[in-house]
């Protein structure tokens, strides 16, 4: 350990802030670490809500039109009648599940929680560039959360137009039946967008301007790189959705006709604007997960990340390509065939940087001395599940195949393999990995392993059958598959999928239980400064770090992935420690 870490900063940190009360510590705080934790709890709450909605959806698909056990009679009249979910209510559940999971769970967890917590710590800064803006971003997220939940209580109920809210269904109250619900959706997306933009502006500025001495761009951990690129995508993509949401709101409430053919408007314009945002959004949801996983894999393989610069350039390429492929969501919308072929080719190009990343992860674990901690298990599961989700993506990139599988459960299987099998698994892994640094105590590894294996099994049980369902012809967004002759024989697959989903729901409580038990007994499992023997800067300060993070501004001497360097007496070399003269580092 270097001299920098020798002195605990708690005393110096607290000395400047003896007066910080409950309100300024937990509610309105300027400390990026606490803001990250605020995001964590709020997003976990939304994870439970969104997951509950998903279970209702799955229940209806497995046993259509039967009363939902236990909670059926508590469902509002817009969703269920006599405890059984009605078709309109089914649409609302699907819409709200997707909207909550994308905007209120995965984005806040990846970008809000880990972005806030890790960026300043990993680049050696005391806080974000704009602490006030940071807290404002969190509270805007909370406000947007209230707005979206309020849609359930609107006259006519929540919007049932899918998270994509395709016009003209979404743009005309007489079609969607819930002017206020759909308007609240639009406002919530707008406010959530403001929150994202505020956060992203802050991240970019922090990464560019606040790095510690010696922390060059190519010495930054891949986590920071991924969040940096994600923030750029957010700044450029989210405002376009905001503009579209404003148009949608005006169409609903001010009588404008942006998406209404009667007044010269174009429903397709909504699709273009939405997917111009929507496709970068896909990478907004996966890039930070890739960064987190890269970190975990390198630490637990005890090896330098294979091809660090290739990883960075691959992420930049994914970020760039993400902006020129949105048309592949619209192959069945009546697109010019030449344009469709162009989008098809540009989409397939994304397979190249994605494959670079996958091979580099494999190269990193190859012949490493792997420690199968819970975090590592989740990270390895991320890589495998991401490969499945990525490969099914290439099916859809090809227009002729897409024409067949579009609007089927094959698509649902694909994006759940990417967003659950990718992002959520990475989030779980990252929580096990950084929990000690966040809260100063270690999560229980045994419960963690149980959580991991059950999640992995139930996840595949829930989502793999959807591939078969989709190829068997099951359409998306149908409330009752049994009314279709050709789908009746597939009904057992739907039931298997639902059992898997219920298992996933149950498993989440093991995870939450683990968190609660650990925090309850936090004194009995105190986390050391560097429990995983990792190199990045956050592990050089106590767990949890004091206010202002670093007692003395750290100096960085080399890259973050110097593991098992020949000639050293330990298998890691923190970024704050210069390499001894006789040791030659691989690069930078």
Partner 1 sequence: MSTAVLNHDQPAGHASAPPATAKFGMIMFLASEAMLFAGLIGGYIVLRLSMPQWPLPLEDGRVVHLPWLLTGINTVFLVTSSFTLHFAEVQVKKGKSGLPLIFVTILLGSLFVGIQCYEWWHLHHEGLWFNSGGVYGSSFFLMTGFHGVHVLVGVLLILWCFLRQVFTRCFTPAHHVALENISLYWHFVDVVWLFLFAIVYLWH
Q: Could you say whether residue 551 binds partner 1 (CB under 8 A)? A: yes
Q: Could you say whether residue 548 binds partner 1 (CB under 8 A)? A: yes
**Taking the mean position of all CA atoms in its chain, how far away is CA 377?**
18
Strand ranges inside 452-538, DSSP E: none
Residue 316: CB minimum distance to partner 1, A: 17
**Taking the mean position of all CA atoms in its chain, how far away is CA 167?**
26
Residues 131-190 close enough to bind partner 1 by CB under 8 A: 131, 133
Own/partner contacts of 49-55, CB < 8 Å, gap of 24 or more, are: 49/100, 49/149, 50/96, 50/97, 50/100, 50/101, 50/104, 50/105, 51/504, 51/505, 51/508, 52/505, 53/93, 53/96, 53/97, 53/100, 54/97, 54/101, 54/501, 54/505, 55/501, 55/502, 55/505
Q: Could you say whether residue 276 binds partner 1 (CB under 8 A)? A: yes
Q: Could you say whether residue 377 binds partner 1 (CB under 8 A)? A: no
Residue 482: CB minimum distance to partner 1, A: 41
Residue 43 is encoded by which pair of tokens? Answer: 């997003």
Q: Could you say whether residue 235 binds partner 1 (CB under 8 A)? A: yes
Q: Which is nearer to partner 1, 270 or 458 (CB)?
A: 270
Residues 119-138 close enough to bind partner 1 by CB under 8 A: 124-127, 129-131, 133
Q: State how far the Cα of 184 lies from the Cα of 150, in Å rounded to an integer.
A: 7
Residue 328: CB minimum distance to partner 1, A: 19
Contact pick of 48, 84, 162, 272 for partner 1 (by CB under 8 A): 272
Look at residue 423 and give its three-state secondary structure: helix
Q: Could you say whether residue 402 binds partner 1 (CB under 8 A)? A: no
Helix (H), strand (E), coil (C) string for 12-23: HHHHHCCCCCHH
Q: State how far the Cα of 341 lies from the Cα of 584, in Å rounded to an integer.
A: 49
- Provide the phi-psi class of 131: left if phi over 0, else alpha when psi is between -120 and 50, else beta: alpha
Look at residue 549 and give its three-state secondary structure: coil
Contact pick of 184, 273, 493, 527 for partner 1 (by CB under 8 A): 273
Residues 208-227 close enough to bind partner 1 by CB under 8 A: 208-213, 215-216
Interacting stretch for partner 1, rule CB under 8 A, among 153-161, 374-382, 528-536, 542-550? Answer: 542-550
Q: Could you say whether residue 415 binds partner 1 (CB under 8 A)? A: no
Q: State how far the Cα of 569 lies from the Cα of 430, in Å rounded to an integer.
A: 28
Residue 340 main-chain phi, psi, to 5 deg: -65, -40
Residue 423 is encoded by which pair of tokens? Answer: 């992002």
Residues 236-255 close enough to bind partner 1 by CB under 8 A: 236-244, 246-247, 250-251, 254-255
Q: Which is nearer to partner 1, 247 or 462 (CB)?
A: 247
Contact pick of 5, 38, 99, 202 for partner 1 (by CB under 8 A): 202
Q: Which is nearer to partner 1, 66 or 553 (CB)?
A: 553
End-to-end CA distance of the chain: 21
Q: Strand 84-85 vs strand 80-81: parallel, antiparallel, or unpaired?
A: antiparallel
Q: Could you say whether residue 545 binds partner 1 (CB under 8 A)? A: no
Residues 1-60 close enough to bind partner 1 by CB under 8 A: 9, 12-13, 16-17, 29-31
Q: Could you say whether residue 271 binds partner 1 (CB under 8 A)? A: no
Q: Summarize as ranges the residues that interact with partner 1 (CB under 8 A).
A: 9, 12-13, 16-17, 29-31, 124-127, 129-131, 133, 197, 200-202, 204-205, 208-213, 215-216, 235-244, 246-247, 250-251, 254-258, 262-266, 269, 272-273, 276, 546-553
């Amino acid at each position: 350990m270097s001299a920098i870490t020798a002195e605990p900063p708690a005393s110096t940190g607290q000395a400047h802030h003896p007066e910080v009360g409950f309100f300024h510590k937990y509610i309105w705080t300027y400390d990026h670490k606490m803001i990250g934790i605020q995001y964590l709890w709020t997003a976990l709450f939304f994870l439970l809500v969104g997951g509950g909605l998903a279970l209702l959806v799955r229940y209806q698909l497995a046993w259509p039109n039967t009363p939902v056990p236990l909670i059926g009679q508590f469902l509002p009249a817009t969703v269920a009648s006599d405890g059984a979910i009605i078709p309109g209510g089914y649409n609302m559940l699907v819409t709200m599940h997707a909207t909550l999971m994308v905007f209120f769970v995965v984005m806040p967890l990846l970008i809000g929680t880990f972005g806030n917590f890790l960026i300043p710590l990993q680049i050696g800064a005391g806080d974000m560039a704009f602490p006030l803006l940071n807290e404002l971003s969190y509270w805007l997220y909370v406000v947007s959360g209230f707005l979206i939940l309020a849609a359930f209580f609107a006259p006519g109920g929540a919007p049932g137009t899918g998270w994509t809210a395709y016009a003209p269904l979404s743009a005309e109250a007489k079609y969607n039946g819930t002017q206020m619900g759909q308007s609240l959706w639009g406002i919530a997306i707008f406010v959530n967008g403001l929150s994202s933009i505020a956060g992203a502006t802050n991240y970019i500025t922090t990464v560019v301007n606040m790095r510690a001495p010696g922390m060059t761009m190519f010495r930054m951990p891949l986590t920071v790189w991924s969040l940096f690129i994600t923030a750029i995508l957010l700044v450029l993509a989210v405002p376009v959705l905001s503009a579209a949401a404003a148009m949608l709101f005006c169409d609903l409430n001010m009588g404008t006709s942006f998406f209404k053919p009667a007044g010269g408007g174009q429903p397709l314009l909504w699709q273009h604007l939405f997917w111009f945002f929507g496709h970068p959004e896909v990478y907004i949801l996966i890039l930070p997960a890739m960064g987190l996983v890269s970190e975990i894999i390198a630490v637990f393989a005890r090896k330098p990340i294979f091809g660090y610069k290739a990883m960075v350039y691959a992420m930049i390429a994914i970020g760039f390509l993400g902006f020129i492929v949105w048309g592949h969501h619209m192959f069945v919308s009546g697109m010019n065939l030449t344009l469709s072929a162009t989008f098809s080719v540009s989409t397939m190009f994304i397979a190249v940087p994605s494959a670079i990343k996958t091979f580099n992860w494999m190269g990193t674990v190859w012949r490493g001395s792997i420690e199968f901690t819970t975090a590592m298990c989740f990270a390895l599961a991320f890589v495998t599940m991401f490969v499945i989700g990525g490969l099914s993506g290439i099916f859809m990139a090809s227009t002729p195949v897409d024409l067949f599988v579009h609007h089927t459960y094959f698509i649902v299987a694909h994006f759940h393999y990417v967003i659950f099998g990718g992002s959520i698994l990475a989030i779980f892994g990252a929580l096990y990995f950084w929990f000690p640094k966040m809260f100063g105590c270690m999560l229980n590894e045994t419960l963690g392993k149980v959580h991991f294996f059950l999640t992995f099994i139930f996840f595949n049980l829930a989502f793999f059958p959807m591939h078969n369902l989709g190829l068997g012809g099951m359409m998306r967004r149908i409330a009752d598959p049994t009314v279709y002759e050709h789908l009746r024989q597939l009904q057992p697959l739907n039931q298997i999928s639902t059992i898997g989903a219920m298992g996933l729901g149950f498993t989440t409580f093991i995870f939450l239980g683990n968190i609660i038990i650990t925090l309850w007994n936090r004194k009995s499992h105190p986390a050391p400064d560097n429990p995983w023997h990792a190199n990045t800067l956050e592990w050089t300060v106590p767990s949890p770090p004091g206010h202002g993070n670093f007692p003395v501004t750290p100096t960085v001497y080399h890259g973050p992935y110097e593991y098992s360097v020949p000639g050293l007496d330990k298998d890691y070399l923190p970024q704050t420690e210069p390499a001894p003269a006789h040791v030659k580092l691989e690069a930078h």
